[in-house]
Amino acid sequence: MRPFCWGLYNPLVHREIDYALARRATIREFERGGLSRRDICDAHPELLRAARHLGDDSNDACPICAEEPLKRVRYVYGTALKAANGRALTSADELENLRRRHDEFACYLVEVCLECSWNYLIRMSLVGRSHAG
């Protein structure tokens, strides 16, 4: 008999990692002078492009420059996704379609500032038919 482990076998545990604490620590370190703007405002040009054209608007101002509202981009990764693997999603409907067709894949939510290039991974979730409910 296998030992019971809440994190692996409990159906009530949602398979999600929230990076809010790490994000706050990074912002706090920047505000204290331990990190430069160059250290943390380093979005890849493809991420900026995806945020500009596919990102959802948020009501949150950039924590670094406070100039622009942040954009949020969702990326999906999973070997079963084939052509969709590594793509930025264009809509919530696209995520729902993938969720219905595949057993499991990872969805990453990234916030991006188009003004200063701040970017941070907000959340990673395992989604798909095996995580429904």
Among the ranges given (4-8, 28-32, 68-72, 114-118), the one the predictor scored with the smallest mean pLDDT: 4-8
Asked, for residue 43, whether it belongs to a domain, the answer is: yes
> Which pLDDT band, with edges at 50, 70 and 90, does 132 fall under?
low
Distance between CA atoms of residues 12 and 30, nearest Å: 37
Residue 2 has pLDDT above 80, yes or no: no
User: In the prediction, which pLDDT does 129 show?
Assistant: 86
Asked, for residue 45, whether it belongs to a domain, the answer is: yes
Asked, for residue 4, whether it belongs to a domain, the answer is: no
> Ramachandran region of residue 50, left (φ > 0), alpha (ψ -120 to 50) or beta?
alpha
Strand partners, 127: 105
Q: Which of 108, 97, 109, 105 is nearest to 127 (CA)?
A: 105
What residue numbers bound the domain in which 23 lies?
14-131
> Which pLDDT band, with edges at 50, 70 and 90, does 68 fall under?
confident
Distance between CA atoms of residues 101 and 76, nearest Å: 13
Asked, for residue 8, whether it belongs to a domain, the answer is: no
> Which pLDDT band, with edges at 50, 70 and 90, does 131 fall under?
confident
Question: Looking up tokens 């380093």, which residue turns up?
Answer: 42
User: In the prediction, which pLDDT does 133 show?
Assistant: 59
Work out how many domains the chain is built from and give that number. 1
User: In the prediction, which pLDDT does 67 show?
Assistant: 87
Return mean pLDDT, the chain: 88
Is 64 within 8 Å of 90 (Cβ atoms)?
Answer: no
